């Protein structure tokens, strides 16, 4: 058991007979009345975010979760396959559990979040920034950098994102997987 004083971003709690992770929290001490904690909670199974207010000091159940290092192997019609980096055990994961599956590449390292008590896989988390090579994009016009114009680019794993006009075929770029956005060109 823990209290609202133990809240931190990323903490997984049991709430309304389900598992939620704390996305954001704020302790509030109003001039009148008791203190409270305003939170944004993300349902681990559905991904739905809800706002909730807890009275300060209320007891909550903290779920024991473990982050385990895995390597992505391949995908087939059944799902995705990963190998534990220390035990070399292979596991099968369904697509809905994976955060941003379109950015997975073979041999990529990921973290799999597992509920320690039940051994259920809660999520597969990719690194926030991944470097990809651009395999195809239209030619940009020389000198057209005054505007923030974007064009489509196909990455080496087949996913398509929007990039600035100066990006060419063969360039390596850093992509933010959490918001599917181009970050910067990577110098080789």
pLDDT at 187: 84
As a dihedral over the C-alpha atoms of residue 148, residue 174, residue 184, residue 67, rounded to 10 degrees, the angle is 100
pLDDT for 78-91, tens place per residue?
899 999 999 999 99
pTM of the complete model? 0.75
DSSP state of 177: T
As a dihedral over the C-alpha atoms of residue 88, residue 91, residue 97, residue 99, rounded to 10 degrees, the angle is 30
Distant-in-sequence, close-in-space partners of 56: CB < 8 Å, separation ≥ 6: 4, 5, 27, 34, 35, 36, 37
Question: Distance between CA 162 and CA 110 in Å, rounded?
Answer: 24
Residues of the chain with confidence (pLDDT) below 70: 141-146, 188
CB-CB neighbours of 22 under 10 Å: 20
Residue 16 in 3-state DSSP? coil
For the segment(s) 129-186, the CATH number from 2.40.50.140, 3.90.226.10, 3.40.50.2300, 3.40.605.10 is 2.40.50.140
User: Which residue intervals of the chain bear CATH 2.40.50.140?
Assistant: 65-125, 129-186
Q: Domain 65-125 adopts which CATH fold?
A: OB fold (Dihydrolipoamide Acetyltransferase, E2P) (2.40.50)
């Amino acid at each position: 058991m823990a209290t609202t004083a133990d809240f931190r971003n990323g903490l997984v709690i049991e709430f309304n007979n389900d598992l939620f992770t704390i996305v954001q929290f704020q302790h509030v001490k109003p001039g009148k009345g008791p203190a409270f904690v305003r939170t944004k909670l993300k349902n681990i199974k559905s991904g739905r975010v809800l706002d909730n207010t807890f009275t300060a000091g209320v007891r909550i159940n903290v779920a024991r979760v473990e982050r385990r290092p895995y390597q992505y192997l391949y995908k087939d019609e059944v799902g995705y396959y990963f190998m534990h980096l220390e035990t070399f055990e292979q596991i099968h994961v369904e697509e809905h559990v994976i955060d941003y599956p379109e950015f997975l590449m073979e041999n990529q390292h990921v973290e799999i979040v597992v509920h320690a008590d039940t051994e259920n896989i809660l999520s597969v988390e990719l690194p926030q920034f991944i470097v990809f090579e651009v395999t195809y994009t239209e030619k940009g016009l020389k000198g057209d950098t005054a505007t923030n114009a974007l064009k489509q680019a196909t990455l080496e794993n087949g996913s398509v994102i929007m990039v600035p006009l100066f990006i060419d075929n063969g360039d390596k770029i850093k992509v933010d997987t959490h918001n599917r956005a181009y970050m910067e060109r990577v110098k080789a």
